[in-house]
Structure 1
């Protein structure tokens, strides 16, 4: 069974009403009667039904969330164990550069240099023989009896050349990363490894108005399936970009990339966003619209009293200052209350007679 939250398209902290609304919308969209030409409609409808059965039952939902967290912890422990038990495969940077040079045909000069010593084998052999013959008649036991100074630099070189172990991170360097780095540098036409940067990762995260107001961390899903917690700074609006420095992919010899997250605000609740301002709708009847009234409106911090002026139509907007989203300078935006003229559920005879008399030019 797939993730029931993904099947219904709801957040993991969604309430029962949101889950029920998502199920109704999904059921209408994938119902077999509405998709007779789709052979997979029944399968999707059944899958949505199973997801709703799990999420609407608190016990089943808690059991599924617990099992998912346990599986995630086991997976992370396995990744840590593998990262600690195995060393990363590395390639000498110069060897990688030579390999890429051969691939791109840039080692013609090296080939010509290696061909010249082959043509001069007889001439080169004589100096070598002389050089080798010189130390033979002068073997000094002091030089042979002191191997320790020669072994110590070798040990230091091995420890210096050994790459440092990276921290356990799901986007750590992959095997043969130095070879990939050499390819990227060759394609970009530069060999300066210090200034090259791994391409950034781009993803979206969907949050609610309440999440931004409470400054809760959002969960972003990267293209490789990994999840990342994203802190929402003050002043976050729909379309804001949050850049996480050096949290992207890592390649040997290159600067680690960033994660660029685009924030999308889900506006299916009480409030709609207009920058850091919020908009909401207040329904009033014709009597309150003509005579005015005192009522309450829902805000992010609770109910607030509001005065509807007399003779207010549906184009009237009441502004409540300081009841919007947090701004970057520490203040808050405003809440714009849009009036919506509504009639009573059942027809009122007095109002009907009044409107009829006004239309006919009669006054009671």
Structure 2
């Protein structure tokens, strides 16, 4: 696994926003849905996710920066610095240690007599793992570590509750159905899809953060969507049908005569799905558009209106 900073193409001084921006750009570029015939893109996507799992978590990033974990998030062996062998061996090594004598202690074979080390020093160094690892001892079952991943979805995929293929940081591929009523930034727990357990323990979970991709057509307001609709001047004055884009296709809505710019109409059931099975609404705000080229009749009308107002005032 390469250095996560190199994978995301950011410097070590990059802030959280820069890291997130770089991750989203690369995840979108190498997403399997966009590279169905490119096996290398799939590997690159997994690598990008793994890098963000480290750098997107402030605690893990700090551990990586000081060398406590590697690029895969695994603890690095730091050695036993400060130990020097009885025979003047190099600092940090085991040269000069008489492990057999330490194990026997001064109180006899297998004992820990007065002044002896016995098993206690190993227990202090290695903790419970040493005591549990003795002959006949059973290893304590431990649950595997959780993994973090992100899934970027379009509003159309949210509306249709689409099934998407996701590559987890572990390299495992799974199919994920976009949950009904999911919100941007919501974290979903996929049980048993994390790292394997130890000693027969259950696997960890995958914590999946859902991100909504930006959509130039709509702004998100909970389960409702907001959009702007351009309306020619003549239709705003005389009224008539207006074509409006929704997540399920274009629809026609009739506006009344003399509709002002900025007026908002509610199209019920044309928003995003809710958890209770209902659907949000689409709020369409009209923007009245003047002709692109000068219209003499329109200009003459406007001059007469201005003159009439000036006379009346």
Q: TM-score range by the shorter chain?
A: 0.5 to 0.7
* Alpha-carbon distance in structure 2 between the residues aligned to 1:259 and 1:7: 17
Aligned to 1:68: 39
Structure 2 unaligned residues grouped into runs of 5+: 1-24, 44-79, 84-100, 112-125, 133-137
Trace 1:22-101 onto structure 2 (pairs within 5 A). Answer: 65-66=36-37, 68=39
- SS, match of residue 361 in structure 1: helix
Q: RMSD of the TM alignment (CA)?
A: 4.1
Trace 1:57-206 onto structure 2 (pairs within 5 A). Answer: 65-66=36-37, 68=39, 114-118=105-109, 182=129, 193-194=140-141, 196-206=142-152
Aligned to 1:145: none
Structure of higher CA gyration radius: 1
Report the CA distance shift for 1:66/1:116 in structure 2 as closer, same or farther (over 3 A): same
The answer to whether the 8 Å contact 1:205/1:218 transfers is no
Residue-by-residue CA offset, 1:18-77 (whole Å, 9 max, x unaligned): xxxxxxxxxxxxxxxxxxxxxxxxxxxxxxxxxxxxxxxxxxxxxx844639x98xxxxx
The answer to whether the 8 Å contact 1:324/1:335 transfers is yes
- SS, match of residue 106 in structure 2: helix
The answer to whether the 8 Å contact 1:321/1:334 transfers is yes
Residue-by-residue CA offset, 1:295-326 (whole Å, 9 max, x unaligned): 23222333322122333333321111111222
- Answering whether residue 229 of structure 2 is matched by residue 229 of structure 1, we say no
Q: CA deviation at 1:235?
A: 0.5
Report the CA distance shift for 1:10/1:249 in structure 2 as closer, same or farther (over 3 A): closer
Identify the match of residue 356 of structure 1 among 289, 297, 303: 303
Structure 1 unaligned residues grouped into runs of 5+: 15-63, 73-101, 121-178, 186-190
* Alpha-carbon distance in structure 1 between the residues aligned to 2:245 and 2:105: 82
- Answering whether residue 313 of structure 2 is matched by residue 293 of structure 1, we say no
Q: CA deviation at 1:261?
A: 1.0
Report the CA distance shift for 1:293/1:314 in structure 2 as closer, same or farther (over 3 A): same
Aligned to 2:266: 319
The answer to whether the 8 Å contact 1:239/1:264 transfers is yes
- SS, match of residue 355 in structure 1: helix
Higher helix share: 1
* Alpha-carbon distance in structure 1 between the residues aligned to 2:30 and 2:284: 27
User: How many pairs were matched up?
Assistant: 210
Aligned to 2:162: 216
* Alpha-carbon distance in structure 2 between the residues aligned to 1:66 and 1:294: 44
Residue-by-residue CA offset, 1:239-285 (whole Å, 9 max, x unaligned): 22221011001131344211111111112343332222222221112
Identify the match of residue 263 of structure 1 among 204, 210, 213: 210
Q: CA deviation at 1:351?
A: 1.7
Q: CA deviation at 1:227?
A: 4.3
Aligned to 2:288: 341
Q: CA deviation at 1:225?
A: 5.5
